[in-house]
């Protein structure tokens, strides 16, 4: 099967990493994959095996001004080049693989009058991320999604919560929406968990009576790191603890100021992006997640895969689904810092069965994800050839 997939580029982020993992596995089991991008540059490009052909869309007459355009403008304007690809390329199936790509990809499909089977991979909660957003640009995108998403032949939602929300806010027949969990648990992840992290708070000689909490993600408001810092400040009045926040982003300075104002700057470390965040989770006493919405938070699954207990906000999306609505971790109401601090103390005092946590994580394995996607693909390509 010849599969073409489309994203902005191999930029950092969980959704992109999951996609590249899927594409590599499609190739390994015998399919041909071409990855279409707006920009070839990005930190995840180095991780590609070379078996996936990466093709940058040609901006054509816009080439002289292309370097000066914003990422959003490039994504929107490349629909013309993508339409040309639809007309000329020989492919069995097209995969719009990330939320930022869907409007452009579907617009290109319309421009090209393409009959190629089209699969849209939806990894975010539409209501929380677009419909209820305060940003005008996102509300406009929601209106575009309402008009264009129904043109996809199949929509693969990364969680049941994402699928149910989509069916409620956009008029799409239920039978065209399939749920396939992301490929989070891989042999590579388990190998990474066995490595020792390069951090003094997690070394073998650390203070065993001082628990270490880990959080990870882009440093931006959606991820709720301020909630975690405030909750740790409250909880540390009852028990000394330390917090490591992995990741980078524009909120770094704001979060440092918050920790300083709360008097816990010496208990919070933000080392930025680290090569092996999984090793941190595997040695941590607790993993903390506080996003305001997520399609399927991969970091929560990664933590469970290492046997690390989790405290997580019960936000729109797949978080509660991952934790079995409280059976495999502690869920906290959104925007309730006091409840979060109590949950931290409760989690640290609970004797967790790490094997049960790891077993739950295996429901989000690479093998299961690949089988789910290929079943959707083969059904569509089979119908096309009938």
Q: For 166-186, how does the pLDDT look when each residue is reduced to its tens digit (9 = 90+)? A: 999 999 999 999 999 999 999
Q: Cα–Cα distance between 9 and 35 in angstroms, integer?
A: 9
DSSP assignments along 312-351, one per residue: EE--SBSHHHHTGGGTSSEEE-TT-HHHHHHHHHHHHHS-
Mean pLDDT in residue range 146-153 = 97
Q: Cα–Cα distance between 289 and 181 in angstroms, integer?
A: 19
Whether 289 contacts 311, CB under 8 Å: yes
**pLDDT > 90? residue 13:** no
Q: Cα–Cα distance between 6 and 69 in angstroms, integer?
A: 20
- What are the two backbone dihedrals, phi and then psi, of residue 287, each rounded to the nearest 5 degrees? -105, 135
Q: Cα–Cα distance between 305 and 359 in angstroms, integer?
A: 8
Q: Cα–Cα distance between 35 and 6 in angstroms, integer?
A: 6
pLDDT band at 72 (very low <50, low <70, confident <90, very high): very high
In this prediction, residue 385 carries a pLDDT of 61
Q: pTM for the whole thing? A: 0.91
Name the CATH topology of 187-363.
Rossmann fold (3.40.50)
In this prediction, residue 4 carries a pLDDT of 97
Mean pLDDT in residue range 154-162 = 97
pLDDT band at 386 (very low <50, low <70, confident <90, very high): very low
Q: What is the CATH number of domain 2-183+365-385?
A: 3.40.50.2000
**pLDDT > 60? residue 252:** yes
Neighbours of 186 (CB within 10 A): 18
Query: pLDDT by residue (tens digit) across 318-351?
Result: 999 999 999 999 999 999 999 999 999 999 999 9
What residue ranges of the chain are covered by domains with CATH 3.40.50.2000? 2-183+365-385, 187-363
**Does residue 245 sit in helix, strand or coil?**
strand
**pLDDT > 90? residue 228:** yes
pLDDT band at 384 (very low <50, low <70, confident <90, very high): low
């Amino acid at each position: 099967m010849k599969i073409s997939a489309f994203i902005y580029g191999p930029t950092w982020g969980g959704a992109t990493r999951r996609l590249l993992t899927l594409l590599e596995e499609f190739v390994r089991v015998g399919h041909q994959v071409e990855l279409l991008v707006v920009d070839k540059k990005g930190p995840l490009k180095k991780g590609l095996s070379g078996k996936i052909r990466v093709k940058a869309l040609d901006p054509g007459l816009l080439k002289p001004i292309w370097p000066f355009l914003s990422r959003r403008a490039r994504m929107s304007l490349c629909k013309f080049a993508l339409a040309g690809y639809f007309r000329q390329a020989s492919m069995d199936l097209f995969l719009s693989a990330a939320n930022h790509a869907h409007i452009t990809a579907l617009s290109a499909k319309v421009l090209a009058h393409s009959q190629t089977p089209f699969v849209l991979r939806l990894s975010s909660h539409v209501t929380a991320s677009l419909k209820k957003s305060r940003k005008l640009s996102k509300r406009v995108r929601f209106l575009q999604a309402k008009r264009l998403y129904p043109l996809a032949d199949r929509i693969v939602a990364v969680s049941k919560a994402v699928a149910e929300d989509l069916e409620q806010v956009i008029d799409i027949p239920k039978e065209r929406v399939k749920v396939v969990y992301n490929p989070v648990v891989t042999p590579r992840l388990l190998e990474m968990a066995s490595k020792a992290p390069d951090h003094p708070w997690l070394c073998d000689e650390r203070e065993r009576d001082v628990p270490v909490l880990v959080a990870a993600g882009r440093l931006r408001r959606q991820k709720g790191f301020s909630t975690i810092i405030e909750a740790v400040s409250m909880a540390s009045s009852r028990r000394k603890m330390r917090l490591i926040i992995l990741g980078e982003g524009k909120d770094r300075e704001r979060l440092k100021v918050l920790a300083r104002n709360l008097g816990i700057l010496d208990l919070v470390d933000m080392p930025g992006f680290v090569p092996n965040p999984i090793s941190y989770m595997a040695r941590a006493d607790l993993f903390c997640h506080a996003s305001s919405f997520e399609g399927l938070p991969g970091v929560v699954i990664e933590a469970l895969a290492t046997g690390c207990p989790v405290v997580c906000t019960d936000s729109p999306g797949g978080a509660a689904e991952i934790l079995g609505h409280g059976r495999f971790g502690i869920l906290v109401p959104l925007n309730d810092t006091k409840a979060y601090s109590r949950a931290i103390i409760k989690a640290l005092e609970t004797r967790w069965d790490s094997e049960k946590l790891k077993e739950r994580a295996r429901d989000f394995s690479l093998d299961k994800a690949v089988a789910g996607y290929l079943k959707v693909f083969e059904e569509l390509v089979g119908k096309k050839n009938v």
